[in-house]
């Protein structure tokens, strides 16, 4: 089966700075692929290249067999790519359901006069849109909150709403930019369940950026690591966890080992059960 996403030698420069430097990456489909690296490694810039917010200086992006390197952002959404952002960007004056409806392709294709007249055809279309959006809200656990104002939700629920709104565009590939940022452990467990549901039940393909090593190691099928805008490693979580280039270049030895030790021995328990090193 061909890869759904092929990025070859992606490069972008801002003045004299090369923010993404000949990065290559592929997504096999129905896997959870994670992109990690230190602050300033070029991860979000790479996402911006995938979504058309920035254009490549060099390289190519192929999605579902089509070269989209020069496609505009809305064209990439129509092709089946959706994303969330580091910072929550909900429509604060709209309800939970309305946030999804605004993203739904059928609503975006409505014309002004039919929308004013609200004929039988448009009413039927709106009914289908509502049903689609309600099904998505149920998938992310927000079905009981559809009438609430979006910004009245707890922080973790707002994060899930952002994912739901991305799903409302009917994407094939969902790019999640630090979806667990600011979440507590309970909220991250809920997020993990939602991402697994998207992948295994909704047949969506996921590419995510995240800094929480425990979250990354637990959820990822495969991991790509960037440092200073370049690929430095790729592999399954165990390979990345033991990769010396990642240990030295990603978070720094001390912090990386602390997070890996916590991942292997939660609650401060040493291998001998003493609780110390």
Q: What is the CA radius of gyration of the chain?
A: 20
User: 110 CB contacts (<8 Å, ≥6 apart)?
Assistant: 122, 125
Is the model more confident about 115 or about 35?
A: 35
Rounded CA gap, 53 and 45, in Å? 9
Closest CA to 135 of 106, 111, 167: 167
Closest CA to 4 of 146, 244, 199, 243: 199
Q: For the segment 72-125, what is each residue's pLDDT rounded down to a tens digit?
A: 999 999 999 999 998 898 999 999 999 999 999 887 665 655 666 566 766 777
Distances (CA, A) of 236 to 12, 144, 213: 27, 37, 13
Average pLDDT over residues 42-47: 96
52 touches 76 (CB < 8 A): yes
Q: Give the pLDDT band (50/70/90) at residue 275.
A: very low
Q: What is the predicted pLDDT for the residue at 113?
A: 57
Average per-residue pLDDT for the chain: 88
Burial class (CB within 10 angstroms; exposed 0-12, middle 13-18, buried 19+) of 70: exposed
Burial class (CB within 10 angstroms; exposed 0-12, middle 13-18, buried 19+) of 92: exposed
Tell whether the model's pLDDT for residue 181 goes beyond 60. Answer: yes
Q: What is the predicted pLDDT for the residue at 164?
A: 97
Rounded CA gap, 20 and 32, in Å? 22
Would you list the domain boundaries of the chain? 1-80+171-277, 89-170
CA dihedral 80, 219, 97, 157 (to 10 degrees): -150
Q: What is the predicted pLDDT for the residue at 254?
A: 47
Look up the CATH number of domain 1-80+171-277: 3.40.50.300
Pairing of strands 81-83, 173-177: parallel
Pairing of strands 58-63, 32-36: unpaired
Rounded CA gap, 249 and 226, in Å? 9
Distances (CA, A) of 79 to 53, 74, 168, 197, 244: 15, 9, 14, 22, 38
Dihedral over Cα of 239, 47, 41, 19: its sign: positive
Q: Assign residue 30 a region (left: φ > 0; alpha: ψ between -120 and 50; beta: otherwise).
A: left
**The CATH number of domain 89-170 is 3.30.56.10:** no
Q: What is the predicted pLDDT for the residue at 258?
A: 57
Q: What is the predicted pLDDT for the residue at 125?
A: 77
pTM: 0.85
Average pLDDT over residues 216-238: 94
Tell whether the model's pLDDT for residue 156 goes beyond 90. Answer: yes
Q: What is the predicted pLDDT for the residue at 149?
A: 97
Pairing of strands 205-209, 230-235: unpaired
Q: What is the predicted pLDDT for the residue at 271?
A: 44
- Do 89-170 and 1-80+171-277 fall under one CATH topology? yes
Q: What is the predicted pLDDT for the residue at 115?
A: 62
Q: What is the predicted pLDDT for the residue at 276?
A: 41
| Helices 120-139/155-167 angle, 10° precision | 130
Average pLDDT over residues 151-163: 96
Q: What is the predicted pLDDT for the residue at 117?
A: 59
| Residue 98 parent element (H or E) | helix 96-103
Is the model more confident about 32 or about 39?
A: 32
């Amino acid at each position: 089966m061909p890869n759904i996403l092929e990025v070859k030698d992606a490069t972008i420069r801002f003045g004299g700075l090369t923010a993404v430097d000949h990065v290559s990456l592929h997504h096999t489909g129905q896997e959870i692929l994670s992109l990690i690296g230190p602050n300033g490694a070029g991860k979000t810039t790479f996402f911006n290249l995938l979504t058309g917010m920035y254009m490549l200086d060099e390289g190519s992006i192929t999605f579902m067999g089509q070269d989209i390197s020069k496609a505009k952002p809305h064209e990439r959404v129509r092709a089946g790519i959706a994303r969330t952002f580091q910072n929550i960007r909900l429509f604060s004056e709209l309800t939970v359901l309305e946030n999804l409806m605004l993203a739904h392709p059928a609503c975006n294709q409505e014309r002004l006069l039919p929308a004013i007249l609200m004929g039988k055809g448009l009413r039927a279309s709106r009914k289908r849109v509502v049903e689609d959006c309600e099904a998505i809200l149920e998938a992310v656990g927000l079905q009981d909150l559809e009438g609430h104002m979006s910004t009245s939700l707890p922080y973790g629920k707002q994060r899930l709403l952002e994912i739901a709104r991305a799903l409302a565009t009917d994407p094939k590939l969902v790019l999640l930019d630090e979806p667990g940022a600011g979440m507590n452990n309970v909220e991250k467990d809920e997020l993990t369940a939602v991402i697994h549901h998207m992948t295994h039940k909704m047949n969506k393909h996921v590419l995510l950026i995240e800094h929480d090593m425990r979250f990354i190691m637990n959820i990822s099928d495969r991991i790509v690591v960037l440092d200073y805008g370049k690929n430095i490693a790729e592999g399954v979580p165990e390979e990345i966890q033991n990769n010396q280039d990642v240990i030295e270049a990603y978070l720094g030895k001390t912090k990386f080992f602390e997070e890996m030790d916590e991942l292997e021995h939660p609650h401060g328990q040493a291998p001998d059960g003493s609780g110390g090193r």
